[in-house]
Structure 1
Amino acid sequence: MQVIKLRDDFIKLGQAIKAAGLVESGVEAKIVIQDGEVKVNGAVETQRGKKLTGGEIISYNGEEIKIER
C-alpha cells in the first residue's frame, strides 16, 4: 500500500491517483473515476474533485493508496 502525505489541507481524488502513479494523466484519472473504477473507503466514487483530508483508503486496479495528514 502506497502512502500519500498531505502537504495542504486536502488533495483531490484525481490528483491523488495521478500522484501515486496509478494513472498516466489527469485525463486518464477523469475517465477511470467517472467509469466507477475507483473506490474510496470501499465505496465507488465518481467525483474526480472529491476532497481527501486524511485517513482515506483509495482502491484502483488492485492497488491501494492511503492518504495521511
Structure 2
Amino acid sequence: MEDIAIETEEIQLDQFLKWAGVLQSGGEVKMLIEERRIKRNGETESARRRKLHPGDVVEIEGMGAWRVTKE
C-alpha cells in the first residue's frame, strides 16, 4: 500500500486517482467503477466523485492500494 498525501481536507475519488498517477482520466475511473473493481475502505465504490478523507484506503483490483494522507 502506498501513502498519497493531499493538501486539502478532502478530495474526490476521481481526482485522487489522477493526483496519485494511478489513472489518467475520469473516464477510466467511471469504467472501473462500472466493473466494480474499485473499493474504498473495503466496500465496493459506486460514485467516482465520492469524497475521500485522510485515512481512507482506495483499492483497485489487480492494480494496488493507496491510503489518503494529509500533507
Same fold (TM over 0.5): yes
Size of the aligned set, in residue pairs, is: 69
Query: Cα deviations across residues 24-61 of structure 1 (Å, max 9, x unaligned)?
Result: 21211122123311001111011111101110111003
Q: Distance in 2 between matches of 1:18 and 1:29?
A: 9
Secondary structure of 1:36's partner? Answer: coil
Task: Report the RMSD for the aligned CA atoms in angstroms.
Answer: 1.3
Gaps spanning 5+ residues in structure 2: where?
none
Match of 2:32 in 1: 32
Q: Distance in 2 between matches of 1:54 and 1:34?
A: 25
| More divergent stretch after superposition (27-36 vs 47-56) | 27-36
Contact 1:4 1:66 in 2 (8 A): yes
Match of 1:6 in 2: 6
Gaps spanning 5+ residues in structure 1: where?
none
Runs of at least 4 residues of structure 1 off by over 4 A?
none
